Amino acid sequence: MTKQETAIELEVAEMTDEQVPNQAAQALVESREILPTVDHPVEVEPVDLKAPELYINRELSHLQFNVRVLEQSLVERHPLLERLMFLLIFSSNLDEFFEIRVADQLRQLKYGREVVGPDAMYPKKVLEKIREICHINVERQYRILNEIMFPEMERQGIHFLRRRDWTAEQLAWVREYFEEKVVPVISPIGLDPAHPFPRLVNKSLNFIVELDGKDAFGRETGMAIIPAPRSLPRLIRMPDELSDGGDNLIFLSSIIHQFADELFPGMKVKGCFQFRITRNADLTFDFEEMDDLARTLRGELHSRKYGDAVRLEVDNRTPEALIDFLMQEFHLSDDQVYKVDGPVNLTRLMAVRDLVKRPELRWPPFSPGVPNKLKKEKEANVFNSLKGGDQLLLHPFQSFTPVVDLIMKAAKDPDVIAIKQTLYRTGDKSDIVNALVEAARAGKEVTVVIELRARFDEESNLHLASRLQEAGCLVVYGVVGYKTHAKLMLIVRREGSNLVRYCHLGTGNYHSGTARLYTDYSYLTSNDEIGEDVHKVFQQLTGMGKIQRLKKIFNAPFTLHTKMIELVQREAKLAASGKPGHVIVKVNGLTEPKMIRALYEASQAGVKIELIIRGMCRLRPGLPGISENITVRSVIGRFLEHTRVCYFGNNGNPEVFCASADWMERNMLHRVETGFPLSGKLAERVKKELDYYLADNTESWELKADGSYNLLAPEEGEPAFSAQQQLLQDFAS
């Protein structure tokens, strides 16, 4: 293990200014000891479980997850190009963080509508902390890129060619590229009264240019803007025959820098500097004034590109006078400016994956597993296999193909009379969508609930809705004010004189691409009660009426929240009566205050609570008398953890649930979500897989009471264990 991999103390350890209540709490957390369940009630003095010091700020916790992603670029056991991807994903995550979370805090300040969470931190203080952490870690990101990544790639024969290193032949090729590919689409803009500062698109690459001299019209403005065409790649591969070997890449910015003079003939370019603006990209709706969600959304999408500026990134060599000019144009303050030592648009470096064919520097390939029963039925009748028993798939370790096969089989099967489906994110080239189109054209009743407001997929979903409608599908957009986040598929098949329902319920999206990158559960069943419940959920989404009583499924915003709290409280009652209480929760975020208070109360009663929270977590573990029986860990590895699973010990009769929902306010109270039970061998299997994550000592970060995280490492003599690697061994080949 390297020094960077073991017990990394993140630079964001001081993300909040609340202090750990006392030294005993600090010692307890640092011990990393998982306390056993006590067999008798714990007597504690009454504590106000709404006290702000018991809660971590949501935005700062979110930011910490991004920093943990950045840390992966330092893990030397990861392949080199994957380490680079983690470094770039940090940029992508930070972009969205500024576009949505920072923008929201700024909006609250601007309009005097400050919202304070359970941590009682006001937006002004939150923004101060965010900027402090971001400045530290962005500077650190570029140091990693320049001091570690670029040298390592150079040693591996991946060269990012600087202008000073171009040979005469390479320069000639770059000139030809500039003249043929760049000049026809680029539009330099001189700044004067007739050419005011342009309205620049969100996250676009731009250059501010200092000029000397007069142009053909006698203008002498001294300044111009060059927006880099969005149609051009930011990274270009140099032809192999012009190089001495290896993979040779150049930045579009280098080409524009090299030939900036030629964009302003007769004038002298004194300086040319990159910059990039990040804007508020959140969409807001007045539901009371809305009569057509799709039409309203189409109108809002264009404005997303030109929202208020929230961040300015500039080349650190940019003169202060030019930075001041840009700050004034975008109405930004000095602490919203990020001076970087390298390209300002790092996310676009992800093109390296396609430009460099070096499989030895990527994760080793694998083939997702398929259960034998589904494998045998693939070419026969997949419905028979589901009548013989439920199936549970864990992606990406197991293939998403059986889910796609089910819908494709249903589209062609003459006995299938109806298909109902929710779609949140599916991708532009989706076999599932193709199957729905085919089914509708074949005369089947096809109903699709599309969530148009899936963030950053709105435009894709609008096109998708139009395509499905043209094919004859009944398309609805869910319920106004409540995003439809549930992952449901219902197939109705005529079998003799009976109608049989086949269902898929999942924790992730119907997207074959993300199913190879995200960990998610897919549950396939022909259970009558589950089928009836799914049918009722679709009735609620497409029609109107009172809350439908469900037998097996719990759904938000109606019953899921209260059910989860009741199950936690049941474990607390068991522990208070001297029986073992045990709760395991694996979700992406834990922020809902009532659920956190229920966990605190259960911990006080002696329940052993093990939380696996990938991202945001407002709960503080390890507080004496409050959360000493709670541990929180975050697992970050090759795949993005996305499963939502809950385990309740129930005094030896455990109950296991999967869900589409995280334990967050938006999921439990403001979205349409579903949670579904697993039983028998499937429940036992899920518990075993949860135990893998609790045993992980290589990719698991432990949350401390002060809000910081420690990367766990094997103790002396203890073997290294990775949950994701073990799951690959269990299921994939």
Distance between CA atoms of residues 104 and 226, nearest Å? 30
642 is in an annotated binding site: yes
Hey, CA dihedral for 168, 170, 173, 175, is it positive or negative?
negative
Q: Are 12 and 137 in contact (CB under 8 A)?
A: yes
Residue 482 contacts residue 451 (beta carbons within 8 Å):
no
Q: CB under 8 Å to 202, separation ≥6 — which residues?
A: 99, 277, 278, 279, 281, 304, 305, 306, 307
537 and 486 Cβ atoms separated by less than 8 Å = yes
H helix and E strand count, the chain: 22, 27
As a whole number of angstroms, the distance between CA 338 and CA 94 comes to 12
Q: Find the helix packing angle between 458-471 and 431-441, rounded to 10°.
A: 20
At 416, list the tokens.
């299938």
Residue 614 annotated as part of some ligand binding site: yes
Dist CA 97 CA 112 (whole Å): 21
Contact in structure between 606 and 38 (CB atoms under 8 Å): yes
Closest CA to 662 of 615, 705, 727: 615
Active site residue 485: yes
The answer on whether 425 is annotated among ligand-binding residues is yes
Catalytic annotation, pick one of 62, 78, 485, 582 = 485
Residue/partner pairs of 92-96 with CB below 8 Å, 24 or more apart: 92/347, 92/350, 93/65, 93/66, 93/69, 94/66, 94/134, 94/138, 95/203, 95/278, 95/347, 96/281, 96/456
549 belongs to an annotated ligand binding site: no
Distance of CA 423 to the CA centre of its chain: 17
The Cα 207–Cα 220 span in angstroms is: 19
Q: What letter represents residue 191's amino acid?
A: L
User: Quick one: which H or E segment has residue 376?
Assistant: helix 372-377
Question: 416-423 and 445-450 as β-strands: parallel, antiparallel, unpaired?
Answer: parallel
Q: Do residues 57 and 619 lie in contact, with contact meaning Cβ atoms separated by under 8 Å?
A: no
- What distance in Å separates the CA atoms of residue 163 and residue 209, rounded to the nearest whole number? 18
* Number of neighbours of residue 679 by Cβ within 10 angstroms: 12
To the question of whether residue 618 is assigned a binding role by annotation, the answer is: no
| Distance (Å, whole) CA 307 – CA 277 | 11
* Residues 506-536 as b or e (16 or more Cβ within 10 Å = b): bbbbbbbebbeebbbbbbbbbbeebbbbbbb
H, E, C per residue of 64-109: HHHHHHHHHHHCCCCCHHHHHHHHHHHHHHHHHHHHHHHHHHHHHH
SS3 letters for 188-253?
Answer: CEECECCECCCCCCCCCEEEEEEEECCCCCCCCCCEEEEECCCCCCCEEECCHHHCCCCEEEEEHH
Task: Find the Cα–Cα–Cα–Cα dihedral 684, 690, 696, 701, rounded to 10°.
Answer: -170
Count other C-beta atoms under 10 Å from residue 162's C-beta: 10
Residues marked active site are found at: 485
Q: Give the annotated binding-site residues for ATP.
A: 93, 518, 614, 642
Annotated binding residues for Mg(2+): 425, 455
